[in-house]
Amino acid sequence: MRTHRVLTLGASLLVLLSACTTGGGASPSAARPSTASSAPSSSAPESTAPESTAPESSAPTGEKAAIKIGSDNFYESELMGEIYAQVLEANGYPVERKFGLGSRQERIPTMDAGDVDLVPEYVGSGTGFYDKTKIGGDGAENAKALQEAVASKNLTVLGITPGEDTNAFVVRKDTSDSLSLTKMSQLKDVQDQLKWGLPADCDTNPLCQGALEEYGITYPPKQREALGACDVPMAQALQGKAIDLAELCSTQPAIAQFGFVVLDDDLDTQPAENIAPLVRNDYLAKVDKAAFQKLLDDASAKMTTEELTKLGVLVAVDQKDIEDVAKDWITEMGLLPS
């Protein structure tokens, strides 16, 4: 993946970001270079983790098999993958990183083929990929629905993060003011006056095309630019007036950085987007599943929406290395073995 230069945030913006804590992320956030080769500190609350369908592990206690961890092609997914990787490495698990696999449509076949053992998944969008009718505004319920959807694929959803990062359709303030746009339901009457920035997979994503059609928007829009959802170029195109509307992510620093207006999803088309490790059952059968899950559930339980936003600033704006950000965070959160 390519490196992007981003404007530096001042202290006043950091204050604004503390309020940007609405949740979840079906789509990518600002891109970073991939390192790929091509809540409480105890375990997460039971209510956040769906009942596992993975077979009970027959591995000897203490077995720590090598694991291949992947991510989608945006910084937040890679950051969560790196956090899980470092927690496991610190506890003796050999880790191979396969970050930047692409969109969900590209990543799922890779996991199905066994080329990766674990990926961070957004439980709302993950469920919606299989059945949009099963998703809603509760992260724990979405996690249960996702578990049901992937059970036949021999995958297990571990505990979810309290924090979330959802899809957000945003416009510049001048566009909001001139067209009186504050909510998604107002887009239908002005859709042909806008140049839309939409992800390349919008045509096959029910949370993108499907959501827009729920609002009576003719799809595809007459003027459409295909860009990475929640990616830096999408935000830069909106700021530079190359597009008038963009799909970003709710924890994306650019929203506060450029003063974008997030349109109210008044039909509630976007689901709760808590994050959870999605793990292959054949890998879980090689290890002490309870010990393995506790390590990752402990890490997930610490990741609030505020933390996601704060770490996003460090990675996407301050341009700090994801590895360093992850290391500092797990150290601060007390997730390293004593």
In the prediction, which pLDDT does 135 show?
Answer: 87
Supply the pLDDT for residue 10.
36
Q: Is the pTM of the predicted complex or chain greater than 0.75?
A: no
Mean pLDDT value across residues 230-256: 91
Long-range Cβ contact pairs of 129-134 (< 8 A, separation 24 or more): 129/104, 129/205, 129/206, 132/206, 132/207, 132/210
CA atoms within 13 A on the CB side of 191: 16
| Peptide bond connecting 220 to the previous residue in cis, omega within 30 degrees of 0 | yes
Residue bearing the bigger pLDDT, 172 or 48: 172
* pLDDT at residue 231 greater than cutoff 50: yes
Long-range contacts of 236-243 (CB under 8 A, 24+ apart): 236/4, 237/197, 238/170, 238/171, 238/172, 238/197, 239/172, 241/172, 242/195, 242/197, 243/195, 243/196, 243/197
User: 310-324: per-residue pLDDT in tens?
Assistant: 998 899 889 999 999
Asked if residue 149 lies in contact with residue 130, where contact means CB atoms within 8 angstroms, the answer is yes
Model pLDDT, residue 207 = 86
Q: What is the per-residue pLDDT for 53?
A: 54
* Percent of the chain topping pLDDT 70: 82
Residue of 74, 81, 125, 114 lying closest to 252 (CA atoms): 74
Asked if the model's pLDDT at residue 18 lies above 70, the reply is no
Residue spans of beta strands (DSSP E) within the chain: 67-70, 95-98, 118-122, 155-157, 167-171, 196-198, 224-226, 245-249, 261-262, 275-280
Residue 4, pLDDT above cutoff 60? no
Rounded to whole angstroms, the Cα distance separating 173 from 259 reads 7
Q: List C-alpha distances in Å: 193 to 189, 223, 245.
A: 9, 9, 11
pLDDT tens digits, 184-209: 999 999 999 999 999 988 998 888 99
What is the per-residue pLDDT for 48?
47
pLDDT at 43 over 50: no
Between 58 and 171, residue with greater pLDDT: 171
Instruction: Tell me whether strands 275-280 and 245-249 are parallel, antiparallel or unpaired.
Output: unpaired
Question: Would you state the structure tokens that stand for residue 281, as one six-digit string?
Answer: 């059952």
Average pLDDT, the chain: 84
Q: What is the pLDDT of residue 204?
A: 86
Cα–Cα distance, 74 to 147 (Å, whole number): 24
Asked if 201 and 132 count as a contact pair (C-beta separation under 8 A), the reply is no
Residue 183: per-residue pLDDT: 97
Quote the pLDDT of residue 60.
Answer: 56
Please, what are the domains in the chain?
Answer: 25-164+272-332 (3.40.190.10), 167-262 (3.40.190.120)
**Three-state SS for 225?**
strand
Label each residue of 156-182 as H, E or C.
Answer: EECCCCCCECCEEEEECHHHHHHHCCC
**More confident site: 229 or 261:** 261
Beta bridge partners of 145: none
Average pLDDT of the segment spanning 166-186:
96
* pLDDT > 80? residue 148: yes
164 forms bridges with which residues in the sheet? 274
d(CA 272, CA 167): 10
Higher-confidence residue of 21 and 44: namely 44
Is it the case that residue 34 has pLDDT exceeding 50? no
* Residue among 34, 168, 150, 187 at smallest CA distance from 99: 34
Structure tokens at 338: 């004593």
pLDDT tier, 50 (very low <50, low <70, confident <90, very high otherwise): low
Higher pLDDT, 285 or 268: 285
CA 57/CA 279 separation, integer angstroms:
13
